[in-house]
Amino acid sequence: MTEPTQLTGPIEAKVTSASTAAAIAGGVVWVLATYVFHGVVPDPVVAFIAVAVPGLVAFAAGYKTRHTARTDSDALAATRRRENLPPAGDAAA
């Protein structure tokens, strides 16, 4: 059995915005059902929304959001933690 994956740094803004946008895009079906179609959304519209809209919205949000900058020391520390190596400069290394 594999060990659980540990987060090695903060979640990047691009990932957060894309994930949030994709989740919110699901609310489009409810809005359409309630206000546009007054109760029943046709199956082709639901299929289009379920497949295309979350992907397109997530892509757009990720594209628009600025990249989260990481310093070289952050990347090195993350790699060392992931590979279970002692911290850089440790006498035991």
In angstroms, the Cα distances linking 19 to 50, 74, 86, 91 are 15, 24, 33, 41
Per-residue pLDDT of the chain (93 residues; tens, 9 = 90+): 666 666 666 777 888 888 888 778 777 767 877 898 887 878 888 788 778 877 888 888 888 888 776 666 666 676 666 666 666 565 554
Return the pLDDT at 87: 61
Nearest Cα to 63, choosing from 13, 27, 10? Answer: 13
Q: What is the pLDDT of residues 8-21, one digit of tens each?
A: 667 778 888 888 88
Report the pLDDT value the prediction gives residue 76, as an integer from 0 to 100.
66
Residue located via tokens 């990347």: 75
Query: pTM score > 0.75 for this model?
Result: no
